[in-house]
């Protein structure tokens, strides 16, 4: 979009890239980045995050689910982290992406919702929490790495919002986000029904998170659930252990700190040649002696007669 400026202020708003034109664009950072790349600087690389979060609407409310693995690239940094965050007593939110961004975004929004509740004196609608999250994320144009699945119940019924880091959102009956989205969404599309009861909904969320855990290296460990109804919320920590550590079935007969010798063979070796090499303790004198000997040997070679009996020139 081009911005129009008055003629008397034309000299004050000239672009450094195009001095003869007036516009609202500046490409100074582009030139800076090209210069840094030419000097050998590497551009910043995005850290891959891994999470599987799910939210569904069932007959009496909403059910949120998340895995508990936190990763730093290929390293598992936390095996039992909490990814379901409290916003209000009837609104909870699952976060995927950068752990610090999701934690601080939900804490900030929770404080804003508390102020809104004190100011208006009413129960905060779920759409109000969605709008606050979307406004903050859109303000930073996707630089806050927080992908959220928010669910809650108010007088308009149960609601699920899928909020993206850029600030857009979807209001859908079931949602999945994170690196295990594809596997989890396939389970939800196959098994979700609007008349699910509480236990059927919890089992569907468990299966969806398990699909993300077993098909994505960034998801794993345990499964947390949060059931939100009009009466309140029930946060179930470590509802299911999705990826259990394997146990050794058989026992080894070898004692600890010992090595079993299975066979022994002795071979006779015949010495055909023996050479001894000595190293001088004074490398500097050795190098000087070697260079002196090499010059003497070169002079002796030059003084020796050639094949025809004549000395080499």
Catalytic residue among 18, 49, 51, 238: 51
Q: How many residues does the chain have?
A: 313
Furthest-apart CA atoms within the chain: distance in Å = 121
Q: Which residues make beta-bridge pairs with 172? A: none
3-state secondary structure 86-104: EEECCEEEEEEECHHHHHH
> How many CB atoms sit inside 10 A of residue 219's CB?
30
- Cα angle 149, 153, 155 (rounded to 5 degrees) comes to 140
Are 216 and 183 a contacting pair, CB within 8 Å? yes
> Rounded to whole angstroms, what are the CA distances from 56 to 53, 124, 151, 157?
11, 21, 8, 13
Dist. CA 193–CA 58, nearest whole Å: 8
| Interacting residues of 200 by C-beta distance below 8 A, sequence separation 6+ | 58
| Interacting residues of 126 by C-beta distance below 8 A, sequence separation 6+ | 90, 91, 150, 151, 152, 153, 154, 156, 159, 161
Is residue 102 part of the annotated active site? The answer reads no
Q: Which residues make beta-bridge pairs with 95? A: 148
DSSP 92-141: EEEEEE-HHHHHHHHHHHHHHHHHHHHHH-SPPPHHHHHHHHHHHHHHTT
Q: What are the phi and psi torsion angles at 235 (to 5°)?
A: -95, 115
Residues with a known catalytic role: 51
């Amino acid at each position: 979009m081009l911005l129009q400026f008055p003629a008397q202020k034309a000299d004050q708003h000239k672009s450094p890239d195009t001095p003869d034109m007036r516009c609202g664009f500046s490409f100074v950072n582009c030139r800076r980045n090209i210069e840094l790349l030419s000097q050998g600087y590497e551009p910043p690389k995005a850290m891959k995050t891994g999470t599987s979060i799910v939210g569904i609407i069932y007959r009496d409310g909403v059910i949120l689910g998340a895995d508990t693995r936190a990763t730093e690239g290929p390293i598992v940094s936390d095996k039992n982290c909490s990814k379901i965050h409290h916003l209000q007593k009837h609104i909870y939110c699952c976060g995927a992406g950068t752990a610090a961004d999701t934690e601080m975004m939900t804490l900030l929004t929770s404080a804003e919702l508390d102020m809104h509740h004190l100011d208006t004196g009413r129960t905060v609608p779920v759409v109000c929490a969605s709008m606050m999250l979307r406004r903050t994320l859109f303000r930073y144009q996707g630089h806050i790495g927080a992908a959220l699945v928010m669910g809650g119940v108010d007088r308009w019924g149960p609601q699920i919002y899928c909020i993206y880091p850029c600030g857009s959102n979807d209001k859908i009956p079931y949602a999945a986000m994170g690196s295990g989205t594809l596997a989890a969404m396939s389970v939800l599309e196959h098994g979700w029904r609007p008349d699910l009861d509480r236990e059927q909904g919890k089992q569907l969320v468990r299966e969806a998170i398990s699909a993300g855990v077993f098909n994505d290296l960034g998801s794993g460990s345990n499964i947390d659930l949060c059931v939100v109804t009009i009466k309140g919320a029930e946060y179930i920590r470590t509802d299911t252990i999705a990826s259990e550590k394997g146990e050794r079935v058989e026992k080894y007969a070898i004692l600890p700190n010992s090595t079993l010798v299975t066979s022994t063979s002795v071979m006779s070796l015949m010495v055909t040649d023996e050479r001894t090499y000595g190293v001088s303790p004074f490398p500097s004198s050795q190098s000087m002696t070697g260079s002196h000997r090499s010059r003497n040997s070169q002079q002796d070679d030059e003084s020796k007669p050639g094949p025809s009996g004549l000395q080499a020139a």
